[in-house]
Structure 1
């Protein structure tokens, strides 16, 4: 049978071929999207079923309690949690400071837990840019020699407080000339109408292990690691609670701190603790606290400026730093 080849026939064959090819491409794309959706569904369900997001949230807040003075999460507040196709777990939540009796939003905690732990990140994005360390706490004596140390004094701290209106509340940090137990520090501050928020805790720095430090002459300051209200987690991190830094909770706060340190040491890798949470020398710190007990050498407090000014007259206080200020929100 003789079939004459025409341009119309050519167009029909090409059209049919293109249509068939297009349909195949669409089916491949649809199948790819379906399997990708199925993959992400399984990943997401598994991620939340294992409560990994809740665990990372709890431990990141715990690490913040210990290493970032007066940085607090909105307890029970809203956080953003997601897992990417490459299994990177992204978590963010707002962070606050207590200025007087009210929390003030200062930024957002941004966490990225990656498959390769050394590439995990844990950052705080501040609303106001930070150009220097806000809190400087000075050791009362040299860890290696026992010689007495002083603090770098900034007289402008007290001058600023004297010039602002008394209807103002503020945040202040300071060091003490002697080590105290947390109970002694709370007793020491009891005569003042102030809230105690955080205390720098000595955990063997430069004595049992090397730690970054700065200072000049007869002053010495190490990276802050502190004591505050303890956190507890139950039901696979689904239920959490936090105590205040108050005298009646001091024993419980100590027990919880040691308990959570031990859980991290027993159940989490060094890379998780250091690269993701930013908790360095945790084993050495835990061993020191178990052996020597809790010794603090300062505090972060907040309250009316007239009460903060009274601290100037206390000879045990040195190296004060003034933090944020706000309009009056105190309870008489």
Structure 2
């Protein structure tokens, strides 16, 4: 048979066509197996409910370390897992100003196989300064000497100048330690909602902690007491109590229970690197031994009620947070 250019072209065309078909088959097979792999991974991820555990504990950590930062029940959570088993989770974060929650940002988590590369951060809608909440210890943990707070007279001046039809958020420290029950009674005469209390857990006494201040004032990273959380049925059912006088004892028990669960069930890397909960064991041991002692609060309510706190000699180091239009229900 005579070899011609036409025959050569036909053979090359058939070869290229066959090769193209094979490549397409390989690509389709790869896509199918990748789809099947991701389907199995996603189904397993949903069945194990790992996202629910991470969401629950991230909210617990936020309750303890970020004053007046919380989620609203019923808000949409986003959770997915990547081919390399990185769990990406996010949910909106709110703060209470008056009686209504105000959206302030989104909590975003990336839980990776290597814990040290995991991230858990809150992206705020507007700039948030670290000085938004400052709480000052009433006495030095090592010497017992009385301490004072840095005072900002502008806090009360601003409240005096705004219209009465305004609600605001205010944080303050007290000149003495109190139990949570005593703090609730202390604030009972005021028409305010108590949102969060800085809790002393042995800082600079039982363990070293970062601090700032001077010879007369001392402030440590906030760690606080608020409404307790509980999870049941493999984290599928979650609930939270309010910071209310009638729930105080239950809130204490829930806080200690979640601290104990984290210490017994989760690694140090998970607690510290992912959740940002440092010295959790020391804090837990201190609370079990010494009990709950708070030294301030974050409150919200009408500006005329907040101004009444100015006359209370026990209050020091007040700091003004967000303000908004009237949304209060007078009782």
| Equivalence map 1:1-332=2 (5 Å) | 3-332=1-330
Report the Cα offset of residue 111 of structure 1. Answer: 0.6
Q: Distance in 2 between matches of 1:133 and 1:14?
A: 74
Secondary structure of the structure 1 residue equivalent to 2:32 = helix
Cα drift, residue 108 of structure 1: 0.4
Give the TM-score normalised by the residue count of structure 2. 0.99
Following the alignment from structure 1 to structure 2, what is the Cα–Cα distance between the partners of residues 21 and 204?
72
Deviation at 1:216, TM superposition (A): 1.8
Q: Post-superposition shift, 1:74?
A: 1.2
- State which drifts further: 10-19 or 186-195: 10-19
Q: Could you say what secondary structure the match of 1:307 adopts?
A: helix
The 3-state SS of whatever aligns with 2:131 is coil
SS of the equivalent of 2:132 reads: coil
- Identify the range of structure 1 (148-157 vs 72-81) with the bigger mean alpha-carbon deviation: 72-81
Output the CA distance in 2 between the equivalents of 1:295 and 1:217: 23
* Distance apart, 1:130 and its partner CA: 2.0
Structure 1 length normalisation: TM-score? 0.98
| Distance (Å, rounded) in 1 between the aligned partners of 2:6 and 2:156 | 94
Q: Quote the Cα distance in structure 2 between the aligned partners of 1:192 and 1:67.
A: 26
**Structure 1: 5+ residue stretches without partners:** none
Aligned equivalents of 1:193, 1:68: Cα separation in 2 = 24
Displacement of 1:288 in angstroms is 0.3
Quote the offset at 1:6 in angstroms.
1.2
Task: Give SS of 2:2's match.
Answer: coil
Q: What RMSD over aligned residues (CA atoms) do the two structures have, in Å? A: 0.7
Give the CA deviation at 1:263: 0.4
Structure 2: runs of 5+ lacking an equivalent: none
Alpha-carbon offset, residue 132 of structure 1? 3.0
Q: C-alpha separation between the residues in 2 aligned to 1:120 and 1:188?
A: 41
In 2: Cα distance, 1:7 partner to 1:324 partner: 83
Indicate the SS of the match to 2:40.
helix
Q: How many residues of Structure 1 are paired with residues of Structure 2 in the alignment?
A: 330
Q: Distance in 2 between matches of 1:210 and 1:24?
A: 65
